[in-house]
Structure 1
Amino acid sequence: MKLNKEQWSWVFYDWANSGYGIIVTTAVLPIYFKGIAQASGVSAANATAFWGYANSLGTLLVAVLAPFLGALADYQGYKKRLLTGFASLGMVMTLGLALMPASQWQWLLVVYILSVLGYSGGNLFYDSFLTDVSDDRQMDQLSSVGYGFGYLGGVIAFILFMILQLTHGFGQMSSIDVARWGFVLAAVWWVVFFLPIQRNVHQRHSLTTTRAPLKQSWQRVWTTIRHLQQHKVLAWFLVAYFCYIDGVDTIFTMATSIGLDIGITSTTLIMVLLVVQLVAFPFSILYGWLANRTSTRTGILIAIIVYLVICVDALFLRSVTDFWILAVLVGTSQGGIQALSRSYFGRLVPKERSSEFFGFYNILGKFSAVLGPVLVGIVTQLTGQSRIGAASLSILFVVGLLIFWRIPRGMADNS
């Protein structure tokens, strides 16, 4: 598939905010926050708890607002404005992380929560633009290219940060300064690569603007919820998606803890993270090609089965080599299952109401990382083995697989 200028501009938004995802959320800010909080007299346990509360609050805000914001974005001219507004909030707040005094850890959390709101809200409108920049035949490959380049952009941004860290800012920076410049890097990366989508991507499917769009948006959301039986296939897909994406997200979020349990060093874990991102780049695109040659349904089923293999293989996880094998397997299908799920859903939704429906999709994506960690935690405590806890996630993939299998064939394929 040859992408046009508008499609490449859409793809590069995933590249743009990938620096935030890996530098701020995953690798740097959790450690930075804990360090400055403890330096201010906060206990390690409380620092971890406050970090967890901040993430939960940010997630909750986005999840609650997503359907309403999506419904508002469906009116002509609103989708681009909302994308720009939330992305700008994320960029400014990411830069604000670098400007917060080390003693103001409470305000640092407030700024972080606002950055999460900007990041997640921007992703909602970015996802829904998929229906504007592609037709049904192109969605699989375009969505896959978007995820693939997002992973590649994250790797490059993180490597630039690692150069700063390993050289101590070329001999000029403390560890705190390096972390702050990492936040600046993530913000600048976001700003620069946001420009193409801002200039070149346009809303093609929309509802006629009313005099009271806020009121009408609320009414549309509640009407959709009350009449969800009219969208049975879409609703069943969301249930299946909730189950298997919960497993996907949990494997990613719990991998560090499981790795530490079997004696893997933090440096090795960082290397594993980079390799997973690198592997995910070509394999995300490969899944788009596979869906184009077979069907979107087939691609999603293959990805779920790969994750079932990962869960079973976790039972035999005892060495660094075993962990590397599982990590590479995750990299092969992580981007593919996310990309094809997005394009599958994009075909099911009414195009002129895509943002509203992607709001519900966004809710399940946010709340999906709730059940899985609890399941892993309970099984780990009962057995005393984190690898058995990881294997228990196979339940979620089996349930998701069975529900998805029962969705009629051809409902949202690229034919």
Structure 2
Amino acid sequence: MAASSNSSEPVTRRERFAWCMYDFANSGYTTVILTAIFNAYFVGVIAAGQGSGDATLLWTLAMAAANALVLISAPVVGAIADYSGAKKRFLTITTIGCVVFTALLYFAGPGDIALAVVLVILATFMFASGENLIAAFLPEISTPQTIGRLSGYGWALGYLGGLLALVLCLVYVKYAEKQGIEAAQYVPVTNLIVAALFALAALPTLLWLRERATVAESFDSAHIVRQGFSRLRATLREARLHTDLFRFLLALTTYYAGIHIVIVLAAVYAQEVMGFKTQDTIILIMVVNVTAAIGAFLFGHLQDRIGSLRCIAITLLIWIAAIGCAYFADDTLLFWVAANLIGTALGGAQSAGRALVGQFTPPGRQGEFFGLWGLATKLSAIIGPLTYGGMVYLFAGDHRIALLSTLGFFVLGLAMLSAVDEQRGREAANIKY
């Protein structure tokens, strides 16, 4: 029997805080592993013997493989979680998996390309799957009037979590450099710092966030899997009833391709084009996290006033301006301007996008629909970085030319938003069928 909802049970402030804390917990992985330190370490140390162009392509291929796994599994896993009332159980498994595989990255040193690729694929798969599952709780613990605000609080707290991870790593890096330790020895330790912070900060979520769906009678695993695929097929057949959701997911896939380029390649660009060192990059990403937290907080409140769709459009205009500044930056000043614009837009775009999907989601099908959201974001995580990596490879390591692909994704995504009607999408979420 399918899961039934216990959504009538009151949601406490502690539970909402626990939900937000997961954003705080997992942001260290995005910030340190994918954005600031390990990605640049992979290109500049682990795969340095392959040359900058080939090493960058290898990194983007690893990201593409991880996100392809999520793309294939996310909607079905979400539907299974809804049917079995096991969103929290799945969230626990993915959290433990990400923590373990991140810690194991400690053992990837110069030349250990295969080991690093396998581990980062597994860790990223677990991270991204958990990201989809925690998002599926959002409609259950908020209202249509507060969903944007709560999503914004989560993203804002998440950027503070990423900032804390970077501060801890920076303290250790400075200490290690004073001791004369080389990057090949001290960078792996930052993976252990991220894993430990993730494990500790996720405890409030795993202890206090409640599963609001229960299973009325026993079931077998094979039946749940079949039901998961069946519900996914039904959702795709019903696409005409959720026109605005699917139009938005197409637009999101497009502009998120640009966002994912920035997330996984910002440190590489700073290192290869602007000549940033490890400490410079950490400080850069720390500042970006602060502006991103501010952006998520402000846009979280703004979207409850003017609508999520308009907020996303505003952030995309900021993204376009930021990429233009980065492209023309010949000195660090203009690059820092671009970085802070990126931070503001990053927080706002991610917060508003998650909230809008929540508004377009029918009750009781959160895991399934946020699985579709995960499918869209992970498809973009394949398209974006691979496009950038392919251009770097084709243009003999020229990162500046490759950056133009990012601009194209944002312009096209902005144009596609015009086909989405926010009010109609909300009404479709309440259709009984």
- For residue 79 of structure 2, what is the aligned residue in structure 1? 71
Deviates more, 1:321-330 or 1:268-277: 268-277
2:243 aligned with 1:232, yes or no? yes
Change (3 A) 1:377 1:408: same
Aligned partner letter, 1:323:
F
- For residue 413 of structure 2, what is the aligned residue in structure 1? 400
**CA-CA distance at 1:138 after TM superposition:** 1.3
- On the 8 A contact 1:132/1:202 being kept in 2, the answer is no
2:109 aligned with 1:97, yes or no? no
TM-score for the superposition, normalised by structure 2: 0.83
Aligned partner letter, 1:405:
S
Distance in 1, matches of 2:200 and 2:60, equals 30
- For residue 338 of structure 1, what is the aligned residue in structure 2? 350
Change (3 A) 1:393 1:121: closer
Deviates more, 1:296-305 or 1:333-342: 296-305
Aligned partner letter, 1:18:
S
Aligned partner letter, 2:31:
I
Aligned partner letter, 1:410:
Q
**CA offsets 1:299-330 (integer angstroms, 9 cap, x no match):** 12211222233344456433221111111111
Unpaired runs of 5+ in structure 1? none
Change (3 A) 1:350 1:17: same
Aligned partner letter, 1:137:
Q
**CA offsets 1:316-366 (integer angstroms, 9 cap, x no match):** 433221111111111111111111110011110112111111111112111
Deviates more, 1:186-195 or 1:260-269: 260-269
Q: How big is the alpha-carbon RMSD for the aligned residues of Structure 1 and Structure 2? A: 3.3
The aligned runs of 1:13-412 (5 Å cut-off) are: 13-33=22-42, 37=46, 43-44=50-51, 50-98=58-106, 106-168=114-176, 171=179, 175-204=183-212, 211=219, 212-256=223-267, 258-259=269-270, 263-266=274-277, 267-314=279-326, 316-373=328-385, 390-391=403-404, 393-411=406-424
SS in 1 for 2:143: coil
Change (3 A) 1:168 1:88: same
**CA-CA distance at 1:25 after TM superposition:** 2.7
Deviates more, 1:386-395 or 1:83-92: 386-395
SS in 2 for 1:203: coil
Aligned partner letter, 2:282:
I
**CA offsets 1:284-311 (integer angstroms, 9 cap, x no match):** 1011111123222221221122223334
SS in 2 for 1:369: helix
Deviates more, 1:191-200 or 1:224-233: 224-233
Change (3 A) 1:77 1:13: same
Change (3 A) 1:252 1:112: closer
Distance in 2, matches of 1:104 and 1:262, equals 25
SS in 2 for 1:351: coil
Change (3 A) 1:47 1:305: closer
Distance in 2, matches of 1:248 and 1:411, equals 27
- On the 8 A contact 2:35/2:263 being kept in 1, the answer is no
- On the 8 A contact 1:206/1:352 being kept in 2, the answer is no
- On the 8 A contact 1:75/1:208 being kept in 2, the answer is no
**CA-CA distance at 1:205 after TM superposition:** 5.2
- On the 8 A contact 2:20/2:154 being kept in 1, the answer is yes
TM-score for the superposition, normalised by structure 1: 0.87
- On the 8 A contact 1:262/1:318 being kept in 2, the answer is no
Aligned partner letter, 1:363:
L
Change (3 A) 1:228 1:209: farther
- On the 8 A contact 1:314/1:391 being kept in 2, the answer is no
Unpaired runs of 5+ in structure 2? 1-10, 428-433
Deviates more, 1:307-316 or 1:212-221: 307-316
Deviates more, 1:325-334 or 1:240-249: 240-249
SS in 1 for 2:212: coil
**CA offsets 1:56-83 (integer angstroms, 9 cap, x no match):** 2222111111111111111243101100
- For residue 3 of structure 2, what is the aligned residue in structure 1? none
Change (3 A) 1:302 1:264: same
**CA offsets 1:21-62 (integer angstroms, 9 cap, x no match):** 2222333334555677569xx645766555444332222111
Change (3 A) 1:275 1:399: same
- On the 8 A contact 2:28/2:162 being kept in 1, the answer is yes
Distance in 1, matches of 2:424 and 2:303, equals 14
Residue identity over aligned pairs, in percent, reads 28
**CA-CA distance at 1:390 after TM superposition:** 3.5
**CA-CA distance at 1:173 after TM superposition:** 6.0
Aligned partner letter, 1:295:
G
**CA-CA distance at 1:230 after TM superposition:** 2.3
Aligned partner letter, 2:103:
L
**CA offsets 1:359-409 (integer angstroms, 9 cap, x no match):** 111121112134445666788878x98656535544433332233223224
Distance in 2, matches of 1:312 and 1:113, equals 31
